[in-house]
């Protein structure tokens, strides 16, 4: 049975400021690094076969803590980068409303569509399945990508909920169907 752990990166200064990050290459903050260490310790208690990461700094740094603890090299894949935020990257909700009005979401500000995010996420998952069938795979990525991907893989068991930093969601492939058996879990932070 193929098992994939989809992990959101640790926190960044922009997370704390509620700034849209998108494809901006923002590093982890101190709390993000501490939480990534806790996550790595949690993952160390299991056996894993493969480790993938988005090449964006915040995911890469999170994956480096995991790599060190579980003893796997990191494979980078741009298909699991965060959804591009276009012109809203680096802004807060208040700044967006000031600049474009409260209906800013209806404007074409160059943001990547959910359909595009799902397409590249599913392309990545299909390749993971071809290359690592029956294996246990860790994927370090980003909140929007993970949310869209999980809803596509198992819409019945995935809630519409903000993905927490360093959260772990697990999907298993059984009988050619993905099942989400753990969602947005952060017990390693308790």
Of 64, 81, 82, 89, the active-site residue reads 82
Kind and range of the H or E element at 170?
A: strand 168-174
List the 136-141 sheet strands across, edge first: 74-76, 50-53, 136-141, 2-8, 168-174, 177-185
91-109, pLDDT tens digit by residue?
A: 999 999 999 999 999 999 9
Q: Is it the case that residue 160 has pLDDT exceeding 90?
A: no
12 is in an annotated binding site: yes
Show the domain range for 124.
Answer: 2-189
* 15 annotated as ligand-binding: yes
User: CA 168 to CA 43: how far, in whole Å?
Assistant: 10
Alpha-carbon gap, residue 173 to 3, rounded angstroms: 7
Return contacts of 175-182, CB within 8 angstroms, 24+ apart: 178/125, 178/153, 178/154, 179/154, 180/150, 180/153, 180/154, 181/157
Q: What is the pLDDT of residues 43-83, one digit of tens each?
A: 999 999 999 999 999 999 999 999 999 999 999 999 999 99
Q: What is the pLDDT of residue 24?
A: 96
What's the CATH number where 181 sits?
Answer: 3.40.50.1240
Q: Do 72 and 134 form a contact (C-beta atoms < 8 A)?
A: no
pTM of the model: 0.96
Query: Tokens 């603890």 label which residue?
Result: 69
* Catalytic residue flag (residue 89): no
Name the band, by pLDDT with cuts 50, 70 and 90, for residue 29: very high
The per-residue pLDDT for 159 is 81
**How many structural domains compose the chain?**
1
Residue 174 or 43, more confident: 43
Q: How many CB atoms lie within 10 A of CB 154?
A: 18
Residue 13, annotated as binding a ligand? yes
Q: What pLDDT shows up at residue 26? A: 97
The pLDDT of residue 184 is above 90 = yes
pLDDT (tens digit per residue) in 6-24: 999 999 999 999 999 999 9
Please report the pLDDT score of residue 182 as a whole number.
Answer: 95
Question: 24 with 41: CB under 8 angstroms?
Answer: no
Is 181 among the catalytic positions?
no
Give the mean pLDDT of the chain.
96
Instruction: Assess whether pLDDT exceeds 90 at residue 157.
Output: no
Average the pLDDT over each of 9-13, 34-38, 156-160 and give the range with the smallest value: 156-160
What was the pLDDT predicted at 74? Answer: 98
């Amino acid at each position: 049975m193929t098992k994939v752990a989809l992990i959101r990166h640790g926190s960044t200064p922009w997370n704390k400021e509620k700034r849209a990050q998108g494809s901006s290459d923002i590093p982890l903050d101190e709390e993000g690094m501490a939480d990534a260490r806790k996550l790595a310790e949690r993952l160390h208690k299991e056996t894993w076969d493969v480790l993938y990461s988005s090449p964006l700094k915040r995911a890469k740094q999170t994956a480096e803590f995991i790599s060190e603890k579980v003893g796997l090299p990191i494979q980078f894949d741009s298909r699991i980068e965060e959804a591009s935020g276009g012109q809203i990257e680096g802004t807060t909700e208040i700044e967006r409303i000031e600049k474009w009005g409260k209906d800013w979401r209806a404007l074409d500000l160059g943001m990547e569509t959910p359909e595009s995010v799902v397409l590249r996420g599913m392309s990545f998952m299909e390749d993971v399945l071809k290359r690592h069938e029956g294996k246990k795979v860790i994927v370090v990525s980003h909140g929007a990508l993970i949310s869209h991907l999980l809803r596509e893989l198992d819409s019945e068991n995935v809630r519409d909920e903000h993905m927490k930093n360093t959260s772990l969601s697990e999907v298993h492939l059984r009988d050619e169907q993905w099942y989400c058996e753990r969602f947005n879990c952060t017990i390693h932070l308790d």
